[in-house]
Each structure stands twice: as structure tokens, then as C-alpha cells.
């Protein structure tokens, strides 16, 4: 009987040693939070039409590769989502162009720089002149040649 009790005690001790790493909580290594992670939105949650159309294209390619979509359905869906993606990209590019145009249109210094680079003459009183080869300002008559 004493051998049975000793055997059970050894078995329980062995089981405790084996299960101890499993039962112990994992030690977490503290890391510094990345400030960029707070602002990022996962692509799947983005409301952008461009992102949604591109994700749909990726999904139908996966579905075709796994055999869930026939080739005819894939071509029909690919054409539709490609058209949506291109429309969204064009709209986004047009929006960026409008923002850039608005930013430069309000800045008189940018207008002077563009005029100087394009070869237009600049009157110190009236500003850039439309005549590229003008010697005198068409409004005030000042000399436009560099001194």
C-alpha cells in the first residue's frame, strides 16, 4: 500500500512539473506604442471607393484561384470592379489636382515664379504680362527688360 501512495505522489509531482509551463501566464515584453498605429485604419475597414474596388478585385482573383468562380463570372466581375477602381482613382487624382490648383492660385509668389520660369515678362507694378516678348508693360508703359 505504501508503494501505491508513493507512486501516486510521484505521478502527481511529474504531472505538475509537466503542466506548469502550460498553466503559467505568458510573460509580456513591454513595447513602446507606435503613434502611427493609432491613425491607421485597416484596408478592409476603409470607406474609400478606390480601396473597396481594389479589395474586391483581389477577392475575386482569390475566388477564381480556389475554384469558387467560373472564368466567365470572373471576367464579368473583374471588368465591373476595374471600372469602379479606375473611376475612383480618376476622381481622387482630380481632387488632388483641384487642391493643388487652389493652393497655387491663392499664392501670388507662386504665380510670379511660374511666370518667370515660362519666360513671361513681369512688370514691377502690374505683375506678369501676357506678352512673352514685351519690352514695355502694356498697361503702365514701364520698361520690362532686366537692368
pLDDT of residue 38: 53
Structural domain includes residue 139: yes
Structural domain includes residue 1: no
Cell 503613434 sits at which residue?
A: 35
pLDDT, one tens digit per residue, over 20-69 is 878 777 666 666 565 555 556 565 666 677 788 888 888 888 898 998 88
Whether residue 98 sits in one domain with residue 51: yes
How far CA 58 is from CA of 63, 68, 74, 127, in Å, comes to: 9, 14, 11, 53
All three cell numbers of 80:
465591373
Structural domain includes residue 65: yes
Structural domain includes residue 119: yes
pLDDT of residue 21: 79
pLDDT of residue 20: 85
pLDDT of residue 30: 63
- How many CA atoms lie within 13 Å of 41's alpha carbon, on the beta-carbon side? 7
Whether residue 131 sits in one domain with residue 147: yes
pLDDT, one tens digit per residue, over 99-143 is 555 555 556 777 667 666 666 667 777 777 666 677 777 778 888
Whether residue 99 sits in one domain with residue 131: no
Structural domain includes residue 54: yes
pTM for this one?
0.39
Whether residue 100 sits in one domain with residue 52: yes
pLDDT of residue 14: 93
Separation of alpha carbons 116 and 32, rounded Å: 50
Separation of alpha carbons 121 and 132, rounded Å: 6
Structural domain includes residue 38: no
- Residue 55 belongs to what domain range? 44-105
Separation of alpha carbons 68 and 48, rounded Å: 26
Structural domain includes residue 26: no
Specify the number of domains making up the chain: 2
Whether residue 118 sits in one domain with residue 101: no
Alpha helices (runs of H) in 24-48, residue ranges in sequence order? 35-39
Structural domain includes residue 126: yes
Amino acid at each position: 500500500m505504501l508503494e501505491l501512495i508513493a507512486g501516486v505522489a510521484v505521478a502527481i509531482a511529474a504531472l505538475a512539473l509537466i503542466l506548469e509551463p502550460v498553466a503559467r501566464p505568458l510573460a509580456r515584453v513591454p513595447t513602446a506604442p507606435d503613434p502611427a498605429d493609432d491613425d491607421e485604419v485597416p484596408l478592409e475597414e476603409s470607406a474609400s471607393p478606390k480601396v473597396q474596388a481594389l479589395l474586391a478585385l483581389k477577392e475575386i482573383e482569390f475566388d477564381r484561384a480556389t475554384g469558387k468562380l467560373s472564368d466567365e463570372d470572373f471576367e464579368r466581375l473583374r471588368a465591373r470592379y476595374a471600372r469602379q477602381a479606375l473611376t475612383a482613382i480618376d476622381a481622387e487624382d482630380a481632387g488632388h489636382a483641384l487642391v493643388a490648383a487652389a493652393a497655387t492660385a491663392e499664392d501670388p509668389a507662386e504665380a510670379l515664379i511660374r511666370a518667370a520660369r515660362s519666360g513671361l515678362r513681369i512688370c514691377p507694378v502690374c505683375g506678369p504680362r501676357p506678352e512673352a516678348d514685351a519690352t514695355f508693360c502694356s498697361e503702365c508703359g514701364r520698361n520690362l527688360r532686366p537692368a
